[in-house]
Amino acid sequence: MHNLPKLSEEYIDPNTYPPGVAFMDGQYLTMDKAKISVLDYGFLHSDATYDVVHVWKGAFFRLEDHLNRFFRGMDMLHMSISCDKAQVTEILYNCVALSGLQNSYVEFICTRGTSPDFSRDPRDAINRFIAFAIPFGSVANEKQMQRGLHIAITDIVRIPPPSVDPTIKNYHWLDLVKGLYTAYDQEADTAILLDSNGNIAEGPGFNIFVAKDGLVSTPEFGVLKGITRQSIFDLCKEMQIECVARDITPNELKAADELFITSTAGGVMPVTKINDKPIGLGSVGSLSKRINEAYWQMHGQDKNRMAIDYPTKSEVVDGC
């Protein structure tokens, strides 16, 4: 049993914020009390990096992989925090344990922060660490999981890697949001953006996979190297299914036998329509089902999980 901190406030307005617990400025707070300064460059300039791990049935899934990506992102962006990986792990654990959530979406963030004189030199800013745990959420809702997602390939180009490295998780989402509205205009559920070469890139918060003639493929260029994406490579190797990262054209996506998307927020989610045209038979395919089942089975493997000991009462501990 961990020694856990006490929440500074117990009340949360259920009409304004989801239930959950945040860590900010050395204290644990209910979500309605977690605030960021309007002068933080994470807010003003989208100058931040973050990661999201999920908790399923009371255990973190592949937490070490998410931590490694987060610390790499901070290093690449010339950011640093006073916590090491073990301390960040403890904070994330505490947020989930205090929240009591058995299935949780856990986000941890480093913003550029602020400087006392509002200096425009990013080297003068004091970087800030924030974390929170809220109920688990999915890109696809239950209905969409059953029938498969309906996706639109848009003509929106994802921010190119020479401008913003997509392997570092960031909040530069205006291209993705523009893609979403383009998709909504076509009565689709979500969007796929193109890379700067006109090939398929990714969607808002997810990678995409194509299955054709027994080969599983996913875009290589201009995309986040998702942890769930990596899980699909791992699973396909175990299942003796060939899986590769390569350039994929929009026409290849439309001609697929099966499609599915992957995200920490939802796992493996089937796609059954592209631009209002059915994919394959127009129903969730057998390979997508097999991979989805195998993905959730991974959550029971000791190497992938870190169990949480939920408290009956809390004791104060230090943050970082």
Please report, for residues 10, 55, 210, 235, 258, the alpha-carbon distance to residue 294 in angstroms, rounded to integers and kept in the order given. Answer: 39, 17, 17, 7, 17
Span 100-105, average pLDDT:
97
Q: What total number of domains does the chain contain?
A: 2
**pLDDT at res. 12:** 54
Q: What is the pLDDT of residues 9-67, one digit of tens each?
A: 555 556 688 999 999 999 999 999 999 999 999 999 999 999 999 999 999 999 999 99
Residues 6+ apart with CB under 8 A from 278: 272
Please name which of 144, 145, 67 lies closest in space to residue 107, comparing C-alpha atoms.
67
Q: What percent of the chain has pLDDT over 90?
A: 91
148 and 115 within one domain: no
pLDDT value at 172 more than 90 = yes
Q: End of a domain among 115, 137, 159?
A: 137
147 and 121 in a common domain: no
Q: Quick check: is 297 in a domain?
A: no
Residue 133, domain extent: 21-137
Average pLDDT (107-126) is 96
Query: Residue 209: which H helix or E strand, with range?
Result: strand 207-212
Chain-centre distance for alpha carbon 102: 18
* Same-domain pairing of 193 and 236: yes
Q: Is the pLDDT of residue 318 over 90?
A: no
Residues 95 and 177 in one domain: no
Which run of H or E residues covers position 66? Answer: helix 63-76
Say if residue 155 is in the same domain as residue 266. yes
What's the CATH number where 150 sits? 3.20.10.10
User: Same domain for 65 and 82?
Assistant: yes
Say what angle helices 63-76 and 85-99 make with each other, to 10 degrees.
Answer: 130
Supply the pLDDT for residue 56. Answer: 98
Between 18 and 149, the more confident residue is 149
Entry pTM? 0.92
Model pLDDT, residue 60: 98
Is the predicted pLDDT of residue 313 greater than 70, yes or no?
Answer: no
Confidence at residue 312, expressed as pLDDT on a 0 to 100 scale: 74
Residue 6 pLDDT greater than 90, yes or no: no
Q: Say if 155 falls within a structural domain.
A: yes
